[in-house]
Amino acid sequence: MRIGLLTSGGDCPGLNAVIRSAVLHGIKSYGDEFVGIRDGWRGLIEGDHIELSRQDVRGLARQGGTILGTSRTHPYNHPQGGPENIRERMRRDDLDAVIAIGGEGTLAGAKRLADDGVPVVGVPKTIDNDLKATDYTFGFDTAVSIATDAMDRLRTTGESHSRCMVAEVMGRHVGWIALHSGMAAGAHAILIPEQRVSIDQVCEWVQQVHARGRAALVVVAEGYVPEGSEEAVADKGQEADGRPRLGGIGNWLTDQIEQHTGIETRNTTLGHIQRGGNPTGFDRVLATRFGIKALDLVHEQAWGHMAALRGTEIEKVNLTEALDGLKEVPASRYEEAKILFGR
């Protein structure tokens, strides 16, 4: 078969490892040929691609970003998009199938195309870990590891100055990165969108820590909305596409803590460094396994399905299942973390 690979949506460490393993598996096991589609759906629609040989994917498992480039182009919103045009373009470009590697938006596009007769399978990716039907997505472990390292650094400077340090992390509308990195760094408060903690409660935790002569570390997910302060944070706002605005909640929270407690406080918005650089070992392995599975799904003609991690096994799941709402942090996980807040 001649198979196209594309990466779409925000980049994420591990994308290149998927590309590498799918290509190596396809060449070795099935005698496939591969095409790397540039910039997500745009490249598929416009026929912008490169041949991918075994040599082209050498050493890619450890490399961050995506060698194919990415974009947020929607396959139905592009002027030359839509299933008929895409099928025709694939016929002209001699493409038998497409592996689409992306998050919720990409997978929703893949599902719709598959329903409309385009031979496409998915691979889930996102640092946010918010996709249902897979226990973990690659990129998440790397983001947690980068955020944890940054928090360890914030703690030494915070302790030196007796300052409260706020760390704003990514995660879009869920708190997985905040929960895991905050627990790993021993944060004194972790604030996530799924749990509406009030500012008064946050300040109480911070004061408890400072009363013991320590400096508090507060981890806040970018999508957090404090209970009772919904209106006050409304203008911190969102970007046009619904993403939380970088630094919005972190800076607001920092001002609030300082005003309410009198404790000098600083915010650090970790931003895109959480998505940059090389993937962790865990993410390399997960992405590699996803690439192998996706290739097998193509040969099964399991269009509209994706690779997923269930426990320790890589399984085939229908994209419908993956797109059935966001995977939020359960209350029980938050309660567990909360045992160690304040202290």
Q: Per the annotation, does 266 bind a ligand?
A: yes
> Which residue in 11, 32, 128, 296 is the catalytic one?
128
Q: How many residues does the chain have?
A: 343
Q: At 128, give phi and psi (nearest 5°).
A: -75, -20
Contact present, 169 and 179 (Cβ < 8 Å): no
Q: Is 40 in the site for ligand F6P (CB under 6 A)?
A: no
122 counts as binding ligand F6P under rule CB under 6 A: no
Question: Would residue 128 show up in a list of annotated catalytic residues for this protein?
Answer: yes
Binding to ligand F6P by residue 73, rule CB under 6 A? Answer: no
- Cβ-closest residue to ligand F6P? 170
Nearest approach, Cβ of 226 to ligand F6P (angstroms)?
A: 18
Torsion sign, CA atoms 22, 292, 123, 273: negative
**According to the binding rule CB under 6 A, does residue 119 interact with ligand F6P?**
no
Q: Which is nearer to ligand F6P, 183 or 326 (CB)?
A: 326
Residue 244 binds to ligand F6P (criterion: CB under 6 A): yes
Q: Does 126 bind ligand F6P (CB under 6 A)?
A: yes
Q: Compute CA distances 316 → 125, 184, 294, 306, whole Å.
A: 15, 31, 9, 6
Instruction: List % helix, strand, coil for the chain (3-state, nearest 5).
Output: 45, 20, 35
Among 81, 171, 193, 291, contact with ligand F6P (rule: CB under 6 A):
171
Residue 179 binds ligand F6P (CB under 6 A): no
Residues in the interface with ligand F6P (CB under 6 A) total 12
Strand order in the sheet with 313-318: 49-52, 33-37, 2-7, 97-102, 120-124, 305-310, 313-318
Query: In the complex, what is the shortest distance from the CB of residue 135 to ligand F6P, in angstroms, rounded to a whole number?
Result: 18
Nearer of residues 127 and 317 to ligand F6P, judged by Cβ: 127
Query: Using the rule CB under 6 A, is 175 a contact of ligand F6P?
Result: no
Q: Choose among 190, 152, 149: nearest CA to 171.
A: 190
The binder of ligand F6P chosen from 32, 128, 168, 194 (CB under 6 A) = 128
CA angle 254, 258, 262 (to 5 degrees): 165
Torsion of CA 170, 171, 172, 174, to 10 degrees: -140
**Binding test (CB under 6 A) with ligand F6P, winner from 10, 26, 75, 109:** 10
- Whichever of 103 and 342 has its CB closer to ligand F6P, that residue is 103
Q: Which residues of 229-258 are buried (b: 16+ CB within 10 A; e: fewer)?
A: beeebeebeeeeeeebebbbbbbbbbebbb
Neighbours of 276 (CB within 10 A): 14
250 is in an annotated binding site: no
Q: First-to-last CA distance in the chain?
A: 59
Q: Which residue in 6, 35, 97, 170 binds ligand F6P (CB under 6 A)?
A: 170
Residue 194 near ligand F6P by CB under 6 A: no
Amino acid residing at 66: T
274 known member of a binding site: yes
Q: Which part of the chain contacts ligand F6P (CB under 6 A), choosing from 47-55, 105-113, 164-172, 322-330?
A: 164-172
Question: Nearest to residue 52, comparing CAs of 101, 4, 94?
Answer: 4
Among residues 163, 275, 289, 327, the one that binds ligand F6P under rule CB under 6 A = 275
The least distance separating ligand F6P from the CB of residue 204, rounded to whole angstroms, comes to 28
Question: Which pair of tokens denotes residue 283?
Answer: 């993410």
- Active-site annotation, residues: 128
User: Which residues here bind ligand F6P, judged by CB under 6 A?
Assistant: 10, 103, 126-128, 170-172, 222, 243-244, 275
Q: Which positions make up the binding site for Mg(2+)?
A: 104
